[in-house]
Structure formats: structure tokens, C-alpha cells
Amino acid sequence: MKEFTCIVCPRGCRLTIDDELNVTGNSCPRGAQYAKDEVTNPKRMITSFVRVKNRENTVVSVKTSTSIPKGMIFEVMDEINKVGVDAPTHIGDIAIKNVLNTGADIIITKNID
């Protein structure tokens, strides 16, 4: 039996999961899935930024298109820190395709003219 706080939404349900992966305490199906992932293969979204090369003192925010294995967070951060993009940027533009073979892209989350 394991207990933890659900991070799927701001509600923050207190989840418990037993050895047979039965989840209690969740308010939605996403919470149940999160609990199962958390004991088998914990994953996280990452948000960060990349440099905008043609603008002074400017960065543009990015996120992983889907959650990545928790253990790879800092490796993925290293990749994010290597790249830069040029303005204008558009929400949804891909800064890194399939980062470190995680299946997640690093995508731009801000429009900069």
C-alpha cells in the first residue's frame, strides 16, 4: 500500500494504491492512471525556456508535449539548454523533436512577435 498526493490537477487528491494496483481516493480516471504510473513508471511534464537568439535578454517558454520519465528530467533539461530559436515564435512550434527518444517533443508555449 502506497499513499501520495495526486498532481494531475490543482485539486490534489490523496491517493492510495495497493499491491494489485487498486486505486482509492481519486476523483477522476486520470487520478487512477496517475497512481498506477507513479508506482510503475513515474512521469512528469517539464516547463522551461529556450533562448531567443535574435532578441536581446529574451527567452521563450517551452514544455514537453507529453510527460517524460521522472528519472530523465535533468537530462532533458540539458538538451533544452542547448538549443535556441529565432523570433517570431508561435505556440506549438517544435524546438526539439522527440527529445532523447522519450517520444515527447519540446514545444514553444508563447507567441513572440
Given the rule CB under 8 A, which residues bind another protein? 4-12, 14, 44-49, 51, 57-59, 61, 63, 70, 73-74, 77, 91, 109-111
96 SS3 class: strand
- Of the pair 53, 97, the CB lying nearest another protein is at 53
Q: How far is the CB of 63 from another protein (least distance, A)?
A: 6
Q: Which contiguous run of DSSP H or E holds residue 79?
A: helix 73-82
Q: From the CB of residue 51, how many other CB atoms can be counted at a distance below 10 Å?
A: 14
Q: How far is the CB of 64 from another protein (least distance, A)?
A: 9
Q: How far is the CB of 90 from another protein (least distance, A)?
A: 10
- Of the pair 22, 47, the CB lying nearest another protein is at 47
Q: What is the CA radius of gyration of the chain?
A: 17
- Of the pair 20, 24, the CB lying nearest another protein is at 24
Cα 86 from chain centre: 23
CA angle 50, 56, 60 (to 5 degrees): 25
